[in-house]
């Protein structure tokens, strides 16, 4: 579970789900959304009512605060630490917390079915979050250090917010994230970041896919995702040092991950069990760990 407790959510009528679908399609049609990125991240979104709840009243969009995680690897007699950003871990725990707390609030007899929707768009439309200039979602008081989830529900939305996404007030006149981003995915003639060039996207590619030649070794900063714009963001000033240690890997374990040979099913499953505590699996290795090590070697 996250180290600092809390939960926040908003309900919006189910009818608004169609609007989200149209918004995503419009972005794709207008060239604001990369087709490959859409296929990998958004094509699996389900905008129809689930079989378990054919007539949902609303959708609950939920935010739960999370720290960043730190892992330690012993390599060549030296300890290397690596970061896992918020949002990558404790998915089941966050879902369980959301259902439990909403169940307490609304009382017995209500159902909640996991919804696979574009969470960031939904959160910003519902007034739960705001867009940062870096296109990351921010919840006031939590910065970008939280995880989103959503559920179809039989609870009536009642009075609710449904608006055009708004930019975080702290971002007005601020360029810190734009100037800090080495890939220059922000700025120019549009607000939407060019996510297909973001190190977060590139870090989530399969291990057999090499980093593009234009990615400098100095950019690497996390085992998955990227923390550059989040670390420098003034809106994260109160949360950026919230870090939780989630595991240490011995010389032998680190060597196994760096070799990249996971044919031994029993050994691979044991390693994945340990990595799961940080929301990781073997798909992040050896590629991302090697990139971090190369950056730090003289």
Domain ranges, residue 292: 8-296
Q: Is the pLDDT of residue 247 over 90?
A: yes
Q: For residue range 181-201, list pLDDT tens digits in order.
A: 999 998 776 677 888 899 999
Residues facing 245 on adjacent strands: 70
pLDDT score for 5: 58
Of 200, 201, 239, 240, whose CA–CA distance to 222 is shortest?
200
Instruction: Taking residues 203-221, report their average pLDDT.
Output: 94
Q: Per the domain annotation, does 70 fall within a domain?
A: yes
Q: Per the domain annotation, does 2 fall within a domain?
A: no
Q: For residue range 56-98, list pLDDT tens digits in order.
A: 999 999 999 999 999 999 999 999 999 999 999 999 999 999 9
Q: Is the pLDDT of residue 234 over 50?
A: yes
pLDDT score for 194: 86
Q: Per the domain annotation, does 241 fall within a domain?
A: yes
* Cα distance between residue 119 and residue 86, in whole Å: 15
Number of domains comprising the chain: 1
End-to-end CA distance of the chain: 37
Q: Residue 121's pLDDT band (boundaries 50, 70, 90)? A: very high
pLDDT score for 4: 40
Q: Per the domain annotation, does 36 fall within a domain?
A: yes
Of 152, 157, 146, 164, whose CA–CA distance to 236 is shortest?
146
Average pLDDT, the chain: 92
Two structure tokens written together for 274: 């340990």
Q: Per the domain annotation, does 122 fall within a domain?
A: yes
Instruction: Taking residues 283-294, report their average pLDDT.
Output: 93
Q: Per the domain annotation, does 3 fall within a domain?
A: no
Q: Per the domain annotation, does 138 fall within a domain?
A: yes
Instruction: Taking residues 21-43, report their average pLDDT.
Output: 81
Q: Residue 3's pLDDT band (boundaries 50, 70, 90)? A: very low
pLDDT score for 30: 81
The DSSP annotation for the chain comes to --SS---EEEEEEGGGHHHHHHHHHHHHHTTSS-HHHHHHHTTT---SPPTT-SS--EEEEEEEE--EEEEEEEETTEEEEEEE-TTSS-HHHHHHHHHHHHHHHH-TT--EEE--S-HHHHHHHTTS-EE-TTS-EEBTTTBT-EEEEEEEESS---S-------B-GGGTT--HHHHH-TT--S-TT-SS--GGGSHHHHHTS-TTSPPPTTS-GGG--SSSS--HHHHH-GGGTTTTT-EEEEEEE-HHHHHHHHH-----HHHHHHHHHHHGGGT--GGGTTHHHHHHHHHH--
Q: For residue range 38-53, list pLDDT tens digits in order.
A: 777 777 788 999 999 9
Give the whole-number percent of the chain exceeding pLDDT 70: 96
User: Is 297 or 32 the better-scoring residue by pLDDT?
Assistant: 32
Instruction: Taking residues 89-112, report their average pLDDT.
Output: 95
Q: Is the pLDDT of residue 2 over 50?
A: no
Long-range contacts, stretch 253-260, CB < 8 angstroms, 24+ apart: 253/73, 254/73, 254/74, 254/75, 254/80, 254/289, 255/75, 257/73, 257/282, 257/285, 257/286, 257/289, 258/75, 258/285, 258/286, 258/289, 258/290, 258/293, 259/286, 260/207, 260/285, 260/286
Q: Per the domain annotation, does 177 fall within a domain?
A: yes
Q: Residue 1's pLDDT band (boundaries 50, 70, 90)? A: very low
């Amino acid at each position: 579970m996250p180290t600092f407790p809390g939960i926040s959510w908003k309900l919006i009528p189910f009818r608004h789900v169609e609007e989200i679908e149209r918004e995503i399609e419009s972005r794709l049609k207008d060239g604001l959304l990369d087709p490959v990125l859409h296929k990998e991240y958004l094509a699996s979104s389900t905008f129809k009512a689930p079989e378990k709840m054919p007539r949902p009243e609303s959708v609950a969009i939920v935010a739960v605060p999370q720290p960043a995680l730190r892992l330690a690897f012993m390599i060549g007699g030296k300890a290397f630490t690596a970061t896992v950003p918020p949002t990558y871990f404790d998915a089941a725990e966050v879902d369980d917390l959301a259902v439990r707390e909403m169940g307490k609030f609304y009382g017995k007899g209500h159902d909640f079915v996991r919804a696979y929707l574009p969470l960031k768009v939904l959160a910003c439309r519902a007034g739960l979050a705001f867009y940062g200039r870096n296109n990351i979602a921010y919840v006031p008081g939590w910065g970008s250090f939280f995880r989103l989830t959503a559920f179809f529900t039989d609870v009536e939305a009642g009075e609710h917010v449904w608006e055009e996404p708004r930019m975080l007030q702290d971002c007005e006149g601020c360029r810190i994230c734009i100037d800090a981003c080495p890939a220059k995915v922000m700025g120019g003639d549009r607000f939407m970041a060019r996510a297909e060039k973001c190190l977060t996207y590139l870090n989530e590619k399969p291990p057999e896919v090499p980093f593009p030649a234009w990615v400098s070794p100095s950019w690497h900063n996390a085992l998955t995702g990227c923390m550059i714009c989040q670390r420098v963001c003034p809106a994260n000033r109160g949360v950026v040092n919230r870090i939780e240690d989630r595991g240490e890997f011995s010389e032998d374990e680190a060597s196994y991950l760096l070799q990249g040979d996971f044919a031994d099913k029993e050994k691979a499953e044991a390693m994945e069990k340990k990595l799961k505590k940080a929301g990781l699996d073997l798909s992040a290795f050896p590629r991302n760990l090697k990139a971090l090590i190369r950056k730090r070697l003289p």
